[in-house]
Amino acid sequence: MATQIDSIPIVGMRKTHLKQLSAYIRMRDRDPWYYGNKKQFEKRHKDLLTLADYLDELADDEDIVIKGT
């Protein structure tokens, strides 16, 4: 039986963690490797780029604070 989750905790991370994760996602565009089905990989990468945009927005917004542990 599968376990369903609806969120991924980021408690204890700092905004610099978010910026670093965003950079990792974007790094693939400079070195365009992929594995498996290329069309499906590119679709997932497009979704991750959307996530990277969101991470950057969160990290750059001075009014947002990540709850500490």
Summarize pLDDT for 13-67 with one digit per residue, the tens. Answer: 999 999 999 999 999 989 888 999 999 999 999 999 999 999 999 999 999 988 8
| 21 part of a folded domain | no
Q: What is the pLDDT of residue 1?
A: 86
Domain extent, residue 56, equals 35-62
Domain total of the chain: 1
| 54 part of a folded domain | yes
| 43 part of a folded domain | yes
Please give the model's pTM, rounded to 2 decimal places.
Answer: 0.82
Summarize pLDDT for 6-15 with one digit per residue, the tens. Answer: 998 888 899 9
| 18 part of a folded domain | no
Tokens (6 digits) for 46: 């497009």
Q: For the chain, what's the residue count?
A: 69
